[in-house]
Structure 1
């Protein structure tokens, strides 16, 4: 806990947003195994235990009776075969060894910088949007993140929060009760939701009341899907922090032994366009906008089946 000006308090933990390509066995997001087949071939298979996309790398060594090059790809499904090793001499077994590493997300995303997002509040809600500072940079002298772009909105009511875009819930933290500490300027102890989008970007939403989530890990959400309810902050108001980012391969680093000052982000942040009652805008800090939506934005990334189900639900 850090005191500022003798009366403001910041509660902060390591705010690194990176995930190293180093295999993290304790998480067991991805498990890789090999199976020898009757025709002497070998299948290198994977099991994915968490939702969302993962980039996986497999490096081979001690190869005999086959040809194998190092493998790298993005996996999205729950399980499958990464590569099949085939014998050069069908009468002999293949000799091989391998190791693998993985990281959350697509390291080569196809980011749609012109995509239109919704403000994460109920239609008709007028909000004032502020830019958030990077706490590691401001208070701990961490290296500046060139693309840093994060926002926060304060409210006097416990508003419901809605999805800005279609995606899959890939992380959900529902741990913290309402903090009654006053004069607090920031705390990292926030209930959070992370949603992966089709183009490889992520939306992070922070500041939910414990047990208020209306979605769960692995759920598909659509624009204007209710996600949860805001929690009280500083014992008097409600604050939503949110940003949109993607994994930048050029920034991959190992933060295993990093400190608050030396930790480096592997994320590049997006300055999105928002569809509002005032028009299609990019956020101008400290300006007010009114949340708006329409059918074309809600259905833009839906499959034909999803559109059919959406239209059916509206007639019920």
Structure 2
């Protein structure tokens, strides 16, 4: 009888022990499973605790593709000048933080030269800012005289533009790109090298890296430069040439360590292809896209080809962490 009672108590003890083991091991696992399920359950705001944790550790780039664009005048101060500029953006841009492209026109032009590119890029969801360089042409709305203009005064213009725009609430300051045509490509290179930490990427199109050699072929020393010299149909001052003679643009390129896109027409009679090829070697990380048969000014189909290359480059850079 005693033996049967002992066995009965032993059986009860084992059942209790099994229950304790279940509580210690199985219940926490089930609770953890419930916690995970809770974290991945979408809340009424459309996000989850798990998703919030993921997005807080990974910065996502926002684009705002839109066929409806707005164009707004936006002037920027540089010394005593008001730089005339225009923001081309997808409608509703004010409520977002979007990547920014700053477009720089070439010698003797105005921002209208870049209009087609500005509109195409804005429709893809980017903010685009274009402007008239001070003294950049006889028609510049930013004032100044071509007699006082040089790539270095234009560098000061672009510096002022960059400093102002990167502070705007709707600009994604981590994703600012510079893009320039001809002389504007040279100026964009100077600013990218000077402010590399602020620039996500650089695009040059038929960039006039030849202008340094042009100056050296024209004048052997600063003393040889007249007060006024007619160059490519425009009267320029001594200031335009004097600092080009001993400047090494290829050494400057080495300071920009991020990916660079160089677009160059193979039949450019102002900027020979060899200058773009040398730039590709000078930039630490560069890719040269040659537009077959293109001269200095691209026709519509050639411009479309350049845009395809630019869009692919921008997407690649936006996906990059550096």
Shorter-chain TM-score category? Answer: under 0.3
Which TM-score applies when normalising by structure 1?
0.24
Structure whose residues are more often helix by fraction: 2
Q: Which has the higher contact order (CA 8 A, sep 6+)?
A: 1
Which TM-score applies when normalising by structure 2?
0.24
